[in-house]
Amino acid sequence: MLILLPPSETKRAGGTPAPLDVAGLALPSLAPQREAVVDALVALSADEDAAVRVLKLGATQRGDVAVNAALRQGPTMAAVDRYVGVLFDALDAASLDAPARRWLGAHVLIHSAPFGPVGALDRIPAYRLGASTALPDVPPLRRVWADAVTAALDALAPRFVLDLRSEAYAALGPVPAGIPSLYVRVVAEGPGGAVRALNHFNKHTKGVLVRRLAGDRPRVASREGFVRWADAAGFRVRENARGELELFA
């Protein structure tokens, strides 16, 4: 099973001095796209005012421009530790034991805007860039990433993909049609059985789910296998008419 996670806008600062190693990231065929986006982001950061406008930063976020300027020299840490926020706080990877963290490294990709999907234990620097940002001197990120990421996932050929990304990041790399997958929406049940999508609890529930997967480390290789595991683990799930998986918070 391969799990695709979205990133978080908020990043933990710091790390170890080892700089970004583009060649060492998961899905190495994406190196040309990574180099192009990183170069464009670093170049933009040479003009602080322009970067603030393009990245839509507030007055208290201007320091993020310097972070982007240092993308190639800044400290790095495991991607699953770099991101903070509702999903990653619920996952709390730092508190997992070594086998669970190794499982994350083998089974989880986190889909970033500047680097594409990276392994959970791949070392990345802090950065500021969202999926919808239009960078100067490169095509829109959807054009940069979508076909290349789909091809990279196709070459990886996982037996089953659990897609926990937001729609914006899923658009940056659709799962190949020939690979069995489930796109997950977190919902709550209202009166009369009607369901509604959630925001905050969407992220929290996804983090709880991935933490439980890392702890249990099930051998899941199909949609049916994941649903069986989820039911046994106490998660309430069902497939909707669009073929997506509804996960009840």
- The CA distances from residue 145 to 115, 142, 150, in Å, are 9, 5, 8
Instruction: Determine what percent of the chain is predicted with pLDDT higher than 90.
Output: 92
- pLDDT tens-digit map of 176-228: 999 999 999 999 876 666 677 766 789 999 999 999 999 999 999 999 999 99
What is the rounded distance in angstroms from the CA atom of residue 32 to the CA atom of residue 20?
15
**pLDDT averaged over the chain?**
95
CB 247 within 8 A of CB 198: no
The residues, ordered by sequence, that sit 6+ positions from 89 with a Cβ below 8 Å of its Cβ are 204, 207
Determine the residue type at 176: P
Instruction: Determine what percent of the chain is predicted with pLDDT higher than 70.
Output: 96
Mean pLDDT computed over 237-249: 91
